[in-house]
Structure formats: structure tokens, C-alpha cells
Structure 1
Amino acid sequence: MPPNPKTIDVCVSVIEGTSEKKVPGVTELSSEKTATEYQVYPIRWLVLLVFVFYSASNALQWTQYTIIQDAIVKYYNVTSNQVYWTSLIYMITFILLIFPACWLLDKTNIRLCVIIGAFGTGLGAWLKVFSVPQDMFWLGFTGQTVSAVSQVFVLNIPPRLAAVWFGPDQVSSACSIGVFGNMMGVAMGFVLPPLLVRAAGTTEEIAADLQLMFHIYASYSSVLFVCILLFFKAAPPTPPSAAADFGSTLDSNFLLSLKKLMTNRNFILLLISYSINVGVFLAISTLLNEVILKHYPGAQLDAGRIGLVFVVSGMAGSVVCGVILDKTHRFKETTLALYVATIAGMLVFTFTLDCGYIGVVYLSNILLGFFMTAYLAVGYEFASEVTYPEPEGTTSGILNAVVQLFGIILTLAYERVLSAADDRWANLSAVGVLCAGAAVCAAITSDLRRQNAQNKIKEPLD
């Protein structure tokens, strides 16, 4: 027997001929006489919580090598570029595999996809446990690749999970919390390696530190895999909202969905603006260690902590924006405001980096992170709105695939400018790219199809 549901304020009676209003891009809702009471279930919070920690277990490994680049280069006798590729491999594998992953999510359910992703994340972490010998960097890179492949079963889940489990007044907040898990993993990935691995240690000390770090990551991933098998469910007994109910009745056609998405003007514009914003975030995150150490030699721990506050402030911004969206449904205004604030934060970071006071760098990263990182969750929800009723997993999958492509290009470009000139020119180049992204964002029309569908169902009650 399912848990006692908490009834939400959506009680719908759709009578044939009651409303003639069409929702743009949405097939006509059922014309049969029906009466449906939509419910949400308390277990949804457990499902979301398990996903948050699972997502963190994968994101934890993204910057595992790059944030301690100096120690990895010295211990394994590899180049800085080889270490950078441990981050870039996350982006490349996502681009190559996201469409098969979206197809699988579309044809099966979120539980199966999450189980596959959790298994791969754990397998990758355990391969690294055996990569501690100094001639085994290739095995560590293999483990990193396995974890990177598993990411395709993480990043496109939050909007789908939110739509399947949560009611219309909580769906944006739930999606933000789902993205929160990934950001929490990124944040811990910045701070844990510098704490666990002594960059200035002897070869034997670094070997012992790496062994400890790899075991901690592998054990955590294994515990999460067991929790997913026990507690993560595919869907509630009944749909949580009218929009979710209608979406679940549509025949799924993956190729047709792709065609519709690629001809949706608002989605294409959002795709570009979102990818620019997040691509700059990926570039800065990948090269943060090098940028900080250039101005503050020996500040390896500070580099990790600055990365931590950068992402944690974004986690707070993500949740705040999710609540704002649930209350106001002003998606375009929120995204544009975040973009403008991100540009301002990037300028502050650029011109305070060399001030000589590392505390100021902490503050500038808190400001930048709050707005830049918050856009990750807001972009997901805005995309779900302008593309409804297309599957959320497909929409977010395309978003993330293009993001990874932009991330690779912008990371390589940022690194090239950083090497040829200095960090100020690299950061100013990023500001220019963000300005272009803001202009694209301003051109998006606020066509909220999911909200229109929900309101259409409610009209007979008014």
C-alpha cells in the first residue's frame, strides 16, 4: 500500500467543450469527461534526497585531479595538459553518449538509468584505488573515464525527477534541489583533494594520501549504490499534477522530439545562452587551481576552498531562484537578471584577483558563484517550460550535451589566453562571451507552455 498522500490544491474536472483555448505546441487535452484529484507522496523527498547524494558522488570526481594538479604532475610525472584532460573527459564522453542515454531514459524510467549511473560511478572510483603506483596514471584515467560515462545518467535526471514526483508549486524547487546535488559534489571535489593530498609531501606521503582519497571516494559511491537499490523508486502511484498526467499519456517518439526541439526558436536561443554561461563556469572551475596559485603561491588549500565557496554560494542561489520561480513563474526575467549579475560578478573577480588579499578573492567568488552557478537549475526549468510536453530528460540532455561542447571550447580557449597573456585578459575574454550570452537570453520569448497547460486544466474551476 502506498504511503498516505498529501493532497495538493489541484482538483480538476475537465468537461467536454468547457474550454476552447489552445496551448501553443501542446496537443489538445482530453475531451472526455473526467474528474481527477492529483496527489503528491511523502516518499518523493526520500527519492530526491537519495538522488542528491548520488549526483554528488559522481560530480565529486570531476576535478579530483585538476584541483591538485601540481601534486599529480609531480607524483605521476605527467604533464599539466594530461591532468586537464581528466576534467575534459567528463565533457567529451557526455557529448558522445547523451543521445543514447536520453533514448534509454525516454523508453524506460529514471530508476533504471540511475542504477546504471551509480554502478558506473562506483566502478570508476574503485579502478582509481588500484592506480596509486606511479606508473598507473593510465588506470586512474580509465577510472575517470568510466565515471565520466556514468555522468550521462546524472545530469539529465533532475527536471524529469521533479516533473514525475512533484506538484506544480514545487517542481522548480525540486529541480533546483536535484541540481544542488551535482553542485554539492563539485564543491566537495574542490575542497577534499587539497585536504587529503599533501602537494609538498614526499613520494611516499603522496602515495599514502592518494590511496586514502581514492578509498574514501570509492566507499562513498558504493554506499550510495546500495541506497539507490533500496530506496530509489521510478514513479509515484499516481501523477502529481495535470501537466505530468497529460505528459505521461503522450506516445513517446525520441526522433520526433528531437526534431521539435531543434525547430523551437526559444529552445535554441536558451540552448546558446545557457551553454555560454555554464561553459564559462566549467572553464574557470577547471583552471582555478592554476589561476589562484599564480597570484598566491603555496595556497593549494585556499584554491580548493575558493572553489568550495564558489559552488556553495551557487547552491544557495539555485535554491533561492527555484523558490522564486515557483512563486512568480517569471522565467525569462529571472534568467536575464542572473546573467547581468554574473557579468558584474565576473568583472569584480577579474579586477580583485591580484589585489594581494586572498580574503577578497573569497568574497568575489561568493558573489560570482551565487549568480553564475544558480543559472544551472534555472536553465533546466526554463527549458522544460518552453518545450513542454517534450520529455524533460531529452530536453536537459541536449542542454548538457551542448554545454559540454562549449565547456571544452571555452576551457581550451581560456587556457590558451592564460598561457599566452595573463589571467586578466583570459577573464575579460570570458566577460565578453558572457555579454554575448546575455544578448541571446534577452531575445527569448516567454512562452511558458507547461504553465499554460496547467492553467488550461484549471479554467473550468474558475
Structure 2
Amino acid sequence: MEDGAASSQTPAELSPALRKAGEFRVYRRRWFVLCVLCLLNCSNSVQWLTFAPVADQTAEDLQVSLDEVNWLSVVYMVVAIPISFITTWMLDTLGLRLTMILGSWLNMAGSALRVVGVLSYVPEWSMFPVVMAGQSLCALAQPLVIFSPTKLAALWFPEHQRATANMIASMSNPLGLLIANVFSPMIISNTNSLLTLLIIYATPAAVVCFLATVGIREGVPPTPPSASAETSSSEPFIQGIKLDFAGLCGALFIVFGVIGAGLLGLFVDKTKKFTEATKINMCLTSLTCSVFAVVSQMREQKALVCAVCALFGLFGFAIYPVAMELSVECSYPVGEATSAGLIFISGQIQSIIYIVLLQALTKRMAGSPISLCATGGDANLSWKVPVLVMAGLCCVGSCCFVIFFHTEYRRLHAEADAAADASAQTGSERTQR
């Protein structure tokens, strides 16, 4: 089957709601709902990556090892896998509003509990468990937030704005990662206080919770923005590098990723070439990952490493929102939350496997540690083999996707069929008059 081939679904097989292609209306408050979701997505990803850029300081303050600090990030992936199935049901059954409000409360409660965990009157032995409990609550919120952009775009935005809205909402997640990468080391270096860091990150979470609870009055607009929106609830279905430099690389990765996602989102909104854009970007991402595997082994090449990280983000992050829209197109009329959820669950499972696998492939380096921020021998590791394995996995995955993935754009075709059917019906009525 060719990419974007004509839909085999005849107008007679379309749902009555989809066949009714009358006048659709959009509402200005859709931008407020999008803004709240962006802030919530950004806040949740900040909670996720709070400790990774300052792992050594976190380990020292909480009296734990670096491996235990890593679990503050990994818990997001572990918790998200079972919760993702519930989230798809919630979005399709309970609606976007309740899902976003629940996500905002979980995110706020988790961030507040993390603050409690590092207060001076809390016993040292209980600090890490309390912080982990707060991190787990934030992790519970992640699927509720991550799955919402496709649903929001489908329910509130017209066909020519859906990919852009999805891109904006989705890219607020890596924006939060950027904030954590840049500001966590900055705050710790200036205050030397983990408590201050957590309070600063908890404040936006509380604000977003208020905005979501008070400001979002309805999950769907009074009238749909497009034909497919009427049936949207449809059928269910681095260690070894100085932290400042690592933070810079992470920041470049995310900044250029947001730029790439924005440009690619606008491109596919105009051209609807979801499959072609995804395949080309996956190939470029694999190529850049392979270059990174080589460049990262060179000494005194910081500028080159930064440039490759920027390109890696430019191509890699740009895939995310477009791939989410592509999943909705090829799985329609399955609900948007279901299609996005399955991709997210698969990604989380693979993330856990890759983190454990790549960590196991590291080797201890002889001599003094390269990291200037290391507090112990845990940071004295060589990542040469893991990076090469990662590049190989990227190349294999991209080749498989390019060769074997072919689909039709079911949602776009359904909308086109509905519009043609309505136009023919209108012409027939005028003829009869």
C-alpha cells in the first residue's frame, strides 16, 4: 500500500457525525487550554530531570549512591508503563478536562512532597524515600500530560492547525528538560541548597494546578472545529564529562530540537507529508547519532561535540510531534489517546531496557576520573561501547521503519470524503429547488 493512498472507506461507511460536514467553528479559548497544557507539560518534565544534572549534590544531600539518584529519573518510566493503559481510557472516556486537572494535582502534590523530603526536621534515613514518593506522584502525572496533546489538537483545533498545536504542546516537554538542565546546576552552584531548588520548581507546579482547576471549564468546545473532531472519542482500541559541559550539550540538544520541531510541524501542517518527514528525519537522526559516537571519543573537541549535539536534537526531537500526528492518521478512527499512548508505552519500555543495557556495558576507566564533579568512583566510567551500541540501534530502527512502514492517512481521507459528500448533498438540494 502506498503512503497516503486513497482511503478504501466509502462515504456510506462513514459515521453520520462525520458525514455532517457543515460549518465548523473554533474558539479563542483553545489557546488558553493549549497554554495550560504546555505549562503543565513543561513543569512535569522539570520535575523529571530535576536531579540528573546535579546528581552528585543530590547523592550527598540525601546520603545515597549515584545509582539510587538515577532511579529518581527511571521511576518515571517504570510508573508510566502500567499507568499509560489507564490514561488512554481516561482521555477517551472521562475527557480531556478531568485528565488534565488530575495530572496537574498529581504533579503539584509530588513536587510539594519532594520539598517535604529535604526539610531539616525529616530524619536522614527517610529523606530519600519521601523524595522518591514525591517523584513517583509526578511520574503518575506524566502519561496524563504526555498523551493529551494529540487529543487537545483534535478536539479544539481545525485541520490546518492540528500539527502546529500538537507540536507546541509536545515540545513544551523538552523545554522543561532544557530548564532543568540549565537551571538545576545554576541554582545549586549559587545556593548549594537542594531545598531551594525544589521550592523553585514546586512553585510553577502549584500555579499550573490552579490554572487547570479554575480556568479549564470544559473538555471540548461547544461545536467541533473539524469533521473528525465530532468522532474524536471514537472506537476504543553523562557521566565522564564535566556537568557544566554536559548541561550545555543537553541545552543545545533541546533548544535545536524545539526549533526543528517547530519548523517540521509547520511544514507538515502545510504539506501533510507525515510519513516522508518522519522517515527522512529518522535517517538524519541515525546519521547524527553515528557521528556523535565517533566525535565523543575525541579529546579536546568540545565545539565539535556541541555542534553534533545540536544537530542530534534538531533532527531527533523534531520527529516526536510529527510521529504522534502520524500515529493518529494511520490508526483513525481509534482514539487519539490510544494511538499516542501505545507509542508512549513502547517508548518507556524500550527506555528502561536501553538504560539498563547501556549502563551495564560501561567499563571502569584506568587512571584519574575525567569528571571534575565526581564525588566517588561511580563517575569514572567509559561510555565508548554504550554510545556505539546506541548508534547501531538507531540505524537498525531507522532502516526497519523506512523499509516496512507504509500507511494511508485515514483521518485526512475521512474528512475529505465527508466534505465531498456534504458538497454533493448541497448541490443536489440546490438542483431540486
TM-score (norm 1): 0.81
Residue 269 of structure 1 is matched in structure 2 by none
Cα deviation per residue 1:231-252 (whole Å; 9 max; x = unaligned)?
224111101111212445x4x5
Please report the RMSD computed on the Cα atoms of aligned residues, expressed in angstroms: 2.3
Structure 1 residue 21 displacement after superposition = 7.6
Give the whole-Å Cα distance in 1 for the aligned partners of 2:15 and 2:344. Answer: 30
Structure 1 residue 169 displacement after superposition = 0.7
Structure 1 residue 32 displacement after superposition = 11
Residue 318 of structure 2 is matched in structure 1 by 374
Residue 307 to residue 42, structure 1, CA distance change in 2 (3 Å): same
Please state if 1:433 is matched with 2:377: no
Q: Structure 1: where are the runs of 5+ without partners?
A: 1-19, 258-287
Structure 1 residue 459 displacement after superposition = 2.1
Residue 31 to residue 301, structure 1, CA distance change in 2 (3 Å): closer
Partner of 1:430, secondary structure, is helix
Residue 80 of structure 2 is matched in structure 1 by 94
Q: 1:455 aligns with which of 381, 402, 416?
A: 416
- Counterparts of 1:350-369 in structure 2, within 5 Å, are 350-353=293-296, 354-369=298-313
- Counterparts of 1:39-438 in structure 2, within 5 Å, are 39-132=25-118, 133=120, 134-135=124-125, 136-198=127-189, 206=192, 209-232=193-216, 233-248=218-233, 250=234, 252=235, 254=236, 257=237, 288=238, 290=239, 294=240, 296=241, 299-353=242-296, 354-419=298-363, 422-438=382-398
Are 2:59 and 2:65, in contact at CA under 8 Å, matched by a contact in 1?
yes
Cα deviation per residue 1:177-230 (whole Å; 9 max; x = unaligned)?
1101111111112112111113xx9xxx63xx2111111111110011111123
Structure 1 residue 144 displacement after superposition = 0.6
- Counterparts of 1:13-32 in structure 2, within 5 Å, are 22-23=8-9, 27-30=13-16
Deviates more, 1:113-122 or 1:452-461: 452-461
| 2:314 alignment partner AA | F
Residue 282 of structure 1 is matched in structure 2 by none
TM-score (norm 2): 0.86
Structure 1 residue 77 displacement after superposition = 2.6
Partner of 1:73, secondary structure, is helix
Q: How many residues align?
A: 394
Are 1:26 and 1:449, in contact at CA under 8 Å, matched by a contact in 2?
no
| 2:286 alignment partner AA | I
Are 1:25 and 1:449, in contact at CA under 8 Å, matched by a contact in 2?
no
Cα deviation per residue 1:295-332 (whole Å; 9 max; x = unaligned)?
x4xx3222222212211211111111111111111111
Structure 1 residue 51 displacement after superposition = 0.8
Q: Percent identity?
A: 27
Residue 459 to residue 305, structure 1, CA distance change in 2 (3 Å): same
Residue 422 to residue 32, structure 1, CA distance change in 2 (3 Å): closer
Q: Which runs of 4+ in 1 moved over 6 A?
A: none
Give the whole-Å Cα distance in 1 for the aligned partners of 2:70 and 2:12. Answer: 44
Cα deviation per residue 1:12-54 (whole Å; 9 max; x = unaligned)?
xxxxxxxx98428994233999561011112111211111011
